[in-house]
Chain A
């Protein structure tokens, strides 16, 4: 019997919650980052914000692409961090630590998103 939308599992809800978190972080990055860029500061936040917003939206749509976009943003974050401060643990802490923790969670959602995707495909086929 097909699972309906109103019958999500807990992991699916947590995945969606993660999507909300990423979307909110992305919006903050985008808006505050644009402010910073206009003040003559780094453009990283605004650019990363665009990817994060997209990532969050796709995750909320239950699309695996959302997770891969986040992992892309994470890769960008690491490259930018290393470019800005090198291998200094104290300086990498605020830049890369939190995003990497989130990245691990996002990676864990990939099977969940895949399941959601395949279910949709299934429903579409019925």
Chain B
């Protein structure tokens, strides 16, 4: 009797103490991922004077107006000359304009960025027999002593006999698509110091020259933008630099950017080529200073690498390269997402972010406010916007546009299709625009937004809501949505919720107490973008519901916390890295920001699901066909412990989907490290496999030797806390693998 009591008591205690609930996770504080962001809390945004360290080493940063020295030039390349747009040779037909059935010749597969493949060997029945065909190691992963900033995010492209891809640090390689054997590799020597927020290389661009005859080197080229700001062109057949492009195959993209340090600006997305002009954008590290390097977008001749135009928001009428010590206007909105080219309209669709100094808008110019957090359709002949569509006005929530926009034909009421653009946002509002005019095709409502809380800054009175499309967001948070393993952490989160300003999606930044950003900068649709099946009219979107918790702090408090921008000589990585706490030097305030979580258990404060996947029928009234949580709890748990549960809790996810004529959707993205095939019509998961690392990348599919393959970079993601690897994993049916 006594013994059984004892056993029951012990077992019960063990059960009660065991981590029982699954949850989502983000990177821990300290090395890698967001720095230890302690949100000061109500009334603590300032620091008493006596606690402020003497500011002996104050580094003001370059003035936005004074002439300044050029930034890092990684390969010591000479300046590039300019040519007039009229001298850009007419473009040859590109593979991505009308891809071969078995190919995937561009990041989004085709010029429209549909991520749709016509392959049918894999269907809901055959996919169940899918097996790993080969694994390729890129060689890029954190070495001992290096902070984990890795998330390769790579999607290979496939043209003919080659699978072309890049490593997280920009080495380019061609693989045999059937065996994964390396055919050539071009190392570019990108240094660890050049890694900005993330070591990522989303992909490379395949370009066919109209100047170099077929059969000669560099008739077909691979173009790539690097983390250390080079535009590189190599021969697709051999990997040799293209001598006629730039300076022996390279162009220094730091030209004209003014003062900078490695890791401040970087390219992570494949540059599109539109009517012979290769268009480059770049990310600028968030939260550093108001006068960070420019977010300029530039066009270069894809044949010669020569400069054609610049779109500099601060100098809208000057499309030339700055000369001497002049530079592009600093602090302007940058664009880090993958752009989409439209040869027919002669436009490139540029998804923009907000101006530098992300959470304070009081110092932004009207020109910046007109183009931030928008889709900007630039004329590739002139570099001038033809139209701009803004998705968030005066953005202080970091709702920068992460998704590549997708082109489609929208059936009109009279049957004639309108050339349309699907514009996903972090808000989960998906806008559908006429790509000739930028006007919404589906209804958009202007709804009132809350006023500001901070002196010297004001909020836009209204914000646009795309009411014609299903919203990819959860209802607004309530206290009872707070979650946890037990009533104890739930109570903690309830207090945290009640201690903050929360007035819906557009709650204004505040100094007196924290504010909640929901969906926030990890919410809605991000760089994974959407996939669209033009035959069924099904649009596939995976999205996040993970709020952020932030507070503005005074400069004194920021100094006491040791926040300094990356270009400060005393800067220490981790003390104020991007995406976490940021000094926002040059504005009156700094930012303290972290996920809305319990910092002890690392569990998000609100109830799951945190990640979802939705299929929308675009041809019949934009109705939701199916929607369910994405990601199981198998690799997640309190304190980062895996629970092993197959419960589809819906985890945060990063990376997109592929849709095929076989009726399948391939997607990894979630933090459960699975890749899965989903039946396009029912939403049912019909196959899944465990990846060696996090599948935070867009998968792709192609055919080789008559068989269909599915490739996913299992590179992991530092912020999502998934295992980092350098492995590209490719799956096929056993029939394809046997030889």
| Interface residue ranges, A against B (CB under 8 Å) | 9-11, 14, 25, 28-29, 32-33, 35-36, 39-42, 45, 77, 84-85, 90-91, 93-95, 97-99, 101-102, 104-105, 108, 111-112
B491 proximal to A (CB < 8 A): yes
Q: B607 at interface (Cβ–Cβ under 8 A)? A: yes
Q: How far is the CA of A84 from the CA of B5 in the complex (A)?
A: 35
B6 in complex: contacting residue of A11, A40, A90, CB < 8 Å: A11
Q: How far is the CA of A23 from the CA of B721 in the complex (A)?
A: 36
User: Cβ of A95: which chain B residues have Cβ within 8 Å of it?
Assistant: 487, 490
Q: Are B16 and A33 in contact (CB under 8 A)?
A: no
12 intermolecular pairs with C-beta atoms under 8 Å apart: A11-B2, A11-B6, A25-B488, A28-B488, A36-B498, A42-B479, A45-B487, A94-B490, A97-B486, A102-B16, A105-B12, A108-B5
User: Given the complex of chains A and B, what is the CA–CA distance between A97 and B488 in angstroms?
Assistant: 12
- Cβ of B626 under 8 Å from chain A: no
- How distant is the Cα of A91 from the Cα of B484 in the complex, in angstroms? 9
Is A99 a contact partner of B498 (Cβ separation < 8 A)? no
Q: Distance in Å from the Cβ of A96 to the closest Cβ of chain B?
A: 9
Could you tell me if A28 and B607 are in contact, using CB atoms closer than 8 angstroms? no
**Is B109 located at the chain interface by the 8 A CB criterion?**
no
Contact A105 B13 (CB under 8 A): yes
List B1-42 residues whose CB lies under 8 Å from chain A: 2, 5-6, 8-9, 12-13, 15-16, 20-21
Given A10-B6, A104-B12, are A41 and B498 neighbors across the interface (CB < 8 Å)?
A: yes
Tell me whether B489 is interfacial, beta carbon within 8 Å. yes
Inter-chain contact B498/A108, CB cutoff 8 Å: no
B527-570 near A? 1/0 per residue, CB < 8 Å: 00000000000000000000000000000000000000000000
Q: A9-B2, A28-B491 are in contact. Are A40 and B498 (CB under 8 A)?
A: yes
Interface pair B488/A108, CB less than 8 Å apart: no
- B387 sits at the interface (CB 8 A): no
B487 touches A29 (CB 8 A): yes
Chain A residue contacts of B16, Cβ below 8 A: 98, 101-102, 105
Across the interface, A32 reaches (CB within 8 A) one of B484, B492, B608, namely: B492
Determine which of A14, A77, A90, A98 lies in contact with B608 in the assembled complex, contact meaning CB atoms within 8 Å.
Answer: A90
* Least distance between A53 CB and chain B CB atoms (Å): 15
B491:A14 contact, CB within 8 angstroms? no
Question: Across the interface, do A94 and B480 meet the contact criterion of CB distance under 8 Å?
Answer: no
Q: Chain A interface secondary structure, helix, strand, loop or mixed?
A: helix
Q: Does B328 contact A (CB under 8 A)?
A: no
Interface string of B470-485 (1 = CB under 8 A from A): 0000000001100111
Which of the residues A9, A32, A91 comes within 8 Å of B607, measured between beta carbons? A91
The range of chain B's interface size is 20 to 34
8 A-B pairs with the lowest CB-CB distances in the bound complex, closest first: A39-B498, A98-B486, A94-B490, A94-B484, A101-B16, A105-B12, A41-B498, A14-B9
Tell me which of A36, A94, A105 contacts B483 (CB under 8 A).
A94
Q: A77-B487, A91-B607, A105-B9 are in contact. List 16 more A-B contacts (CB 8 A).
A: A11-B5, A25-B488, A36-B491, A41-B494, A41-B497, A84-B480, A93-B483, A94-B484, A95-B490, A98-B20, A98-B485, A101-B15, A105-B12, A105-B16, A108-B8, A108-B9
Point out the residues of chain A lying under 8 angstroms from B489, CB to CB: 94
A104 vs B8: C-alpha distance in the bound complex, in angstroms?
Answer: 9
CA distance A95 to B536 in the complex (A): 44
Provide the bound-state CA to CA distance between A11 and B4, in Å. 11
Which residues of chain A come closer than 8 Å to B484, judged between CB atoms? 94
Q: Is the CB of B12 within 8 A of A101?
A: yes
Confirm or deny: B499 has a beta carbon within 8 angstroms of a beta carbon on chain A. yes
User: What chain A residues lie within 8 Å of B608 (beta carbons)?
Assistant: 90
Interface residues of B (CB under 8 A from A): 2, 5-6, 8-9, 12-13, 15-16, 20-21, 479-480, 483-492, 494-495, 497-499, 607-608
Q: How far is the CB of A111 from chain B (nearest CB, A)?
A: 8
Contacts of B6 in A (CB 8 A): 10-11, 14
A42 lies within 8 A of B21 (CB): no
Q: How far is the CA of A33 from the CA of B487 in the complex (A)?
A: 11
CB contact under 8 A between A36 and B480, given known A94-B485, A94-B489, A102-B16: no
In contact, A94 and B487 (Cβ under 8 angstroms)? yes
State A67–B20 Cα separation when bound (angstroms).
24
Q: Count of A-B contacts with CB under 8 A?
A: 87
Please, how many angstroms separate the alpha-carbon atoms of A98 and B607 in the complex?
16
Question: How far does the alpha carbon of A10 sit from the alpha carbon of B5 in the complex, in Å?
Answer: 10
A98 contact set on B, CB distance < 8 A: 16, 20, 485-488
A90 pairs with B607, CB closer than 8 A: yes
Closest to B479 in A: A41
Chain A residues with Cβ under 8 A from B8's Cβ? 105, 108
Rounded to whole angstroms, the CA-CA distance of A95 and B16 in the bound complex is 13
Give the chain A neighbours of B607 by CB distance below 8 A.
90-91
Residue from A36, A40, A85 having most chain B Cβ neighbours under 10 A: A36
Min C-beta distance of A93 to chain B, whole Å: 6
CA of A108 to CA of B487, assembled, Å:
22
**Distance in Å: Cβ of B9 to nearest Cβ of chain A:** 5
Give bound CA distance, A40 to B499, whole Å.
Answer: 10
> Which residues of chain A have C-beta atoms less than 8 A from B13's C-beta?
14, 105
CA distance A33 to B607 in the complex (A): 20
Given the known interface contacts A94-B484, A98-B16, the answer about A45 and B491 at a Cβ–Cβ threshold of 8 Å is yes
Q: Which residues of A contact B9 (CB under 8 A)?
A: 11, 14, 105, 108
Considering the chains assembled together, what is the distance between the CA atoms of A28 and B6 in angstroms? 28
A36 touches B12 (CB 8 A): no
The reply to whether A94 and B21 form a contact with Cβ atoms under 8 Å apart is yes
Instruction: Return the contact of B487 from the options A40, A41, A90, A99 (Cβ within 8 A).
Output: A99
Q: Closest approach, in angstroms, between the C-beta of B619 and any C-beta of chain A?
A: 34
B483, closest chain A residue (CB): A94
Which of B5, B21, B486, B495 sits near A41, CB closer than 8 Å? B495
The distance in angstroms between the C-alpha atoms of A105 and B14, with both chains bound, is: 11
- CB A97 to nearest CB in B, in angstroms, measures 7
Contacts of A84 in B (CB 8 A): 480
* Separation of A49 and B264 alpha carbons in the complex (Å): 51
Residues of A with C-beta under 8 A to B494: 36, 41-42, 45
CA distance A1 to B12 in the complex (A): 33
Please give me the residue from chain B that is nearest to A41 by CB atom: B498
A25 to chain B: which residues have CB within 8 Å?
Answer: 488
Give chain A nearest CB distance to B484 CB in angstroms: 4
Q: Which of B8, B490, B608 has its CB near the most chain A CB atoms (within 10 A)?
A: B490
**In the bound complex, CA of A14 to CA of B8 (Å):** 11
Shortest Cβ gap from A69 to chain B (Å): 17
Q: Which residue of B lies closest to A49 (CB)?
A: B491
Question: Whole-angstrom distance between the alpha carbons of A41 and B479 in the complex?
Answer: 7
Q: Is the CB of B12 within 8 A of A108?
A: yes
Question: In the complex, what residue of chain B is closest to A48 when comparing beta carbons?
Answer: B487
Compute how far the CA of A94 lies from the CA of B490 in the bound complex, rounded to whole angstroms: 7
Q: Which residue of B lies closest to A39 (CB)?
A: B498
| B643 CB → nearest A CB, Å | 13
A94/B486 in contact, CB under 8 A: yes
A117 to chain B, nearest CB (A): 17
Report the nearest A residue to B15, measured CB to CB: A101
How many Å lie between the Cα of A52 and that of B498 in the bound state?
Answer: 24
Contacts of A28 in B (CB 8 A): 488, 491
- Say which residue of A33, A77, A91, A111 sits within 8 Å of B491 (CB atoms): A33
Residue of A nearest to B480 (CB): A84
Set of chain A residues within 8 Å of B483, measured between Cβ atoms:
90-91, 93-94
Interface centre among B16, B488, B491, B499 (most CB of A within 10 A): B491
Q: Closest chain A residue to B16 by CB distance?
A: A101
Q: Are B491 and A32 in touch, CB under 8 angstroms?
A: yes
